[in-house]
Amino acid sequence: RTVSPTELTPIDESDSENKNRSNIAQASFNLFKVFVGNGILVFPFLFHQVGWALAATSVVVVGTLSFYCMFLVLATADKLGRRSLSLHRMASITKGRNFEILTIILTSGSQSSISVGYIVLVRDFIRHILCENHIQTLCESEELPLLTALLFILPLSLVTNFHYFSYSSVIAVGLQFFVFIALSVFDLEHLHDGGPKPDLTVWNIIGLSHFLGNFIFKYEGIPVLLDIRTSMREPQRLRCVLAFIASIVSALYLSLPMLAYSVLRNKVRNIVLLNYRLDQPLFLAMTVAYTIVTLLGFPLQFFPVLDGLQKLRGGRSNEETATKSSLFRILLVLAFGVIAYHVKGIEKLFHFGGVLFAGPVSFLIPIHMYDVAFRDEISRGRMVFHRIIFFGLILILLSLFILTCLLYTSDAADDLLCVDLGGRRIIKKKK
């Protein structure tokens, strides 16, 4: 049944309810941590593969559209007049149960991809530290770095109150700025070292189909955005916070990757911190710091996955104990660990996650819900504009998935999605 907005509980502004909620500063730290997580470490590699001009254009276009859709979601949430709203709950209110189930599946898929990506990054950071310290026995192991990552992540997955994430976000953002400043200073000092370097790639349209999903994925954060709104004392002020954070995120996504790419050129690796040797204390400190950042950011991405899966199970029953809930969290993290074990290139994971899940969650669902919620108020011109964006994005996302499979060459064997029903590769290596 589609729920009428008049049936919803209005936002409660009582002091007793607000005293344990986040203030604007805490919400800003949470929001910054959501967007500037580990994706920025992959961006220098994307700038090399796509070309700096095309990459910068993609960041601006995708970022503008993503933040526009986030404002649509917040406007829809304010229209419905309830403090505690998740994306799938909004889908149920506007379009009914079937649309809610679709939203839960897409949201859970998107956040699960991010959660697996975080595990992969922690694993790779741990392996990098072991290898650079010449601990070859442990460095060459496939299992030990992953098990170590899971050992740190499992306790964090048991956090149940979203408000507590505000404190970890403050620590994470502080460590991030340390890494960003230290890395920028080093890159500026070594920008012209090493004599002649290969030219920067300016424009590579073929690479765009492979990596555009990554750009989409980096801006996906609507499920967590609504959790942040729920946790705020003044949820109506989140739009101002979002506008402020959007400007900072856009500046970082354009400047830091371009600077790192200008220094490393064609030697840049898929995670930029892996380019630097750890025999210098500064680089060791940066790698350890970003490992901690990744660990602290995991619960923010894991929380919406749990919420979505709980709704698919029909909600948490009164008989369900805390022990059962904790066991379910542990099993889910271990399942993510199994998937992470088979992931070799994190940029491919982010690309497919962006095309299959983050694209619909970030663009299609917000536009559709806004049009339904404001159907009696929206202007005809804006409705036409939304329809053009909606159907255009459907075509783009479908094309991206098909083109990505067709354009794989030697690495086609690594992608399980690029096979036909008989298990054969769509593209085989030329002999």
Higher pLDDT, 421 or 278: 278
Position 338 confidence tier, pLDDT thresholds 50, 70, 90: very high
Write out pLDDT tens, residues 256-279. 888 888 888 888 887 888 888 777
Distance, CA of 55 to CA of 49 (rounded, Å): 9
Distance, CA of 369 to CA of 387 (rounded, Å): 12
Residue range 403-426: average pLDDT?
Answer: 46
Distance, CA of 76 to CA of 64 (rounded, Å): 19
Higher pLDDT, 98 or 270: 98
**Whether this model's pTM surpasses 0.95:** no
**What is the identity of the amino acid at 339?**
I
Position 208 confidence tier, pLDDT thresholds 50, 70, 90: confident
Give the per-residue pLDDT at 13: 46
Rounded percentage of the chain residues whose pLDDT exceeds 70: 82
CA atoms within a 13 Å half-sphere pointing along the CA-CB vector of 347: 24
In the predicted model, what is the mean pLDDT of the chain?
79
Give the per-residue pLDDT at 406: 65
Residue range 309-333: average pLDDT?
Answer: 75
Residue 72 has pLDDT above 90, yes or no: yes
Write out pLDDT tens, residues 128-166. 888 877 676 677 777 888 999 999 999 888 877 655 666
Give the per-residue pLDDT at 384: 92
Position 17 confidence tier, pLDDT thresholds 50, 70, 90: low
Stretch among 171-185, 210-224, 280-294, 361-375 having the lowest mean pLDDT: 210-224
Write out pLDDT tens, residues 21-71. 778 888 888 888 778 767 788 888 888 888 888 888 888 888 899 999 999
Among residues 248, 252, 190, 209, which one has the least CA distance to residue 44? 252
Distance, CA of 292 to CA of 126 (rounded, Å): 11
Q: Is 103 exposed, middle or buried (0-12, 13-18, 19+ CB in 10 A)?
A: buried
Q: Which residues, 6 or more positions from 260, have their beta carbon under 8 angstroms from its beta carbon?
A: 44, 183, 187, 268, 272
Q: How many other β-carbons are positioned within 10 Å of the β-carbon of residue 219? A: 27
